[in-house]
Structure formats: structure tokens, C-alpha cells
Amino acid sequence: MSVLIKPLVTEKVSALNEKGKYGFVVAKTANKVEIAKAVEKTYGVTVETVNTMRYNGKEKSRYTKTGVVSGRTPSFKKAIITVAEGEVIDFYSGI
């Protein structure tokens, strides 16, 4: 199972990129050491710190012609990675 699921590309995380911080959606069972090793191996940078957050899924419902459709968004774990000063992760190089 992969530790890194996908990078976060939102306005809030993009503002952090200028400070050397990058966001990733990671596996729920991954710990900080595993996340740091995966980022260093994948992107070839030195990781200084890892901060993790767990988000619970939310109940969502919408009204349609056939009635109320209700469901749940998935829960996920997010990691904010701080890389060493002067190093950069480029998400768009492979496009």
C-alpha cells in the first residue's frame, strides 16, 4: 500500500508552498516516519518536520426529483511536510 495518495493543490496549501511547506493526502495508517521516508524517496528532498491531521467524513444530503439522496464523504488523513531551506518540490514537472 502506498503511503502518499496525492498532493494537495489548494489555495491555502499553495500559499504555504512559498514557505517550504507542502500538503499531501496520506494513508490513514501511515505514521510520521513513514510519511517522511516516502516524501524523501519520491521527491528527493530532505524533510525537516511532518504534521498530520485526520478528517472525519461529513454527512451530505441533496434534494432531487426522486427525493432526498443522502450519503457521506470519505474520511482522510492529511500531512503538511516542511522541507529543508532552499529545497523545492515541483508537482508539475511530469505533466
Report residue 94's pLDDT band, with 50, 70 and 90 as the boundaries.
Answer: low
Q: Which domain holds residue 65?
A: 4-83
Instruction: Report the share of the chain in percent with pLDDT over 90.
Output: 87
Q: Does the residue 88 lie in any domain?
A: no
Kindly state whether residue 26 falls inside one of the protein's structural domains. yes
Whether 51 maps to a domain, the answer reads: yes
- Within 13 Å and on the Cβ side, how many CA atoms surround 77? 15
Q: What is the pTM of this model?
A: 0.85
Q: Is residue 36 part of a domain?
A: yes
Which CATH number do you get for residue 29?
Answer: 3.30.70.330
- Domain count along the chain: 1
> 90 lies in a domain?
no
Residue with cell 495518495: 5
Contacts of 82 (CB under 8 A, 6+ apart): 20, 21, 47, 48, 49, 50, 51
Q: Check pLDDT > 70 for residue 1.
A: no
C-alpha to C-alpha distance for 7 and 91, rounded to whole angstroms: 8
